[in-house]
Amino acid sequence: MSRIVTVGAAQLGPVARADTRESVVERLLTLLRQAASEGCQLVVFPELALTSFFPRWYTADRHEIDAWFETEMPGPITKALFEEAQALGVGFSLGYAELTPDGHHYNSQILVGPDGAVVATYRKVHIPGHEHNEPGRPFQHLERYYFEPGPEGFGVWRAFGGVVGMMICNDRRWPETYRVMGLQGVELILCGYNTPIHYPPDPSQDILAGFHNALVMQAGAYQNGTWVVAAAKGGNEEGIEALAQSCIIAPSGQIVSQAYTTGDELIVAQCDLDWCDRYKKTLFDFDRYRMIEHYGRITGQRGAVPPPQPPEEQA
Ligand code: CDT
């Protein structure tokens, strides 16, 4: 018997700074209902789905900062999403800014089961961008100012008949993200992202934003024999163009479904979790083929250490 999970990636178009959380939750509910009508058992929403991508703005005002964050999940506004999902019997994964009771700020994503109960909370590990305001930039990417890295790392959870993991946006660019979950048998990785197309430190990469998005997730899926479901918040948000191209990728590395708009759009795929073993038990049979005695540097050092320069030639 195959283990098919019908999964939707619910892409969002822009969320303006002035948009209320209530209005965003209404959009999420519309996508959730569409997903239920298309037979989805699980719907993935983007990173920081409830608000505009606020790390593009600097503020020193503590209250202004904390207003972007959720102090409970579900809270008074997101409760409607949990209730509707439970009524429909559909699970979901949602990215949001989390302020914990003891004052930690994380870029988080929850996994909620079809019964409306929270299965897990993942906190983003790879925090991109910069720590300090850089007024010379056309816009900020201050994730390293607003968020601490998640301390728990990459867990996986038994849910939806398989082994499920989560990653958030920049995490998807790092092969270690997938491999750490791969080493726990992950079969379905859920990802939300906000990717500005313009990259001020090296604008030559702008034209490659879509290519890089697909490249990293297709490689990660294939090399670990896992499904990857990725939902963007795309389009022109507060004057900044963000990549859309939400996609669902099979363990073969093939994209089986991809969004074709930059707005609110649901894409769906039937993910056969048993398909993972075709890769996990052949080319990527980790236990048989991995050569861990040669991988020490991956956890033993952070930056690259090139060999020493050859001595200058004597005159
Ligand atoms: N949200 C997020 O992680 N975005 C990053 C932008 C990197 S450029 C600072 C990404 O990897 O898409």
**Catalytic-residue membership of 176:** no
Note the maximum CA span of the chain: 81
Nearest to 243 by CA among 274, 215, 201, 284: 215
pLDDT band at 140 (very low <50, low <70, confident <90, very high): very high
For atom 7 of ligand 1, which residue has the closest CA?
128
Q: What percent of the chain has pLDDT over 90?
A: 98
Ligand 1: centre distance to CA 169 (Å): 6
State the Cα–Cα distance between residues 23 and 254, nearest whole angstrom. Answer: 35
The overall average pLDDT reported for the chain is: 97
Taking the CB of residue 286, how many other CB atoms lie within 10 A of it?
Answer: 14
Per-residue pLDDT at 116: 96
Ligand 1: centre distance to CA 127 (Å): 8
**Catalytic-residue membership of 233:** no
Of the listed 40, 169, 191, 247, which one is catalytic? 169
pLDDT band at 272 (very low <50, low <70, confident <90, very high): very high
Ligand 1 neighbours, Cβ below 6 Å, are: 47, 128-129, 141, 169-170, 173, 193-195, 199
Q: pLDDT, tens digit, for every residue of 88-120? A: 999 999 999 999 999 999 999 999 999 999 999
- List helix spans (H) across 75-152: 79-88, 143-146
pLDDT band at 2 (very low <50, low <70, confident <90, very high): confident
Ligand 1: centre distance to CA 278 (Å): 32
Query: Mean pLDDT, to the nearest integer, of 197-217?
Result: 98
Q: pLDDT, tens digit, for every residue of 221-271? A: 999 999 999 999 999 999 999 999 999 999 999 999 999 999 999 999 999
Q: Which atom of ligand 1 is nearest to the CA of 169?
A: 3
Q: pLDDT, tens digit, for every residue of 153-202? A: 999 999 999 999 999 999 999 999 999 999 999 999 999 999 999 999 99
Q: Which atom of ligand 1 is nearest to the CA of 128?
A: 9
Residue 22, exposed/middle/buried by CB under 10 A (0-12, 13-18, 19+)?
Answer: exposed
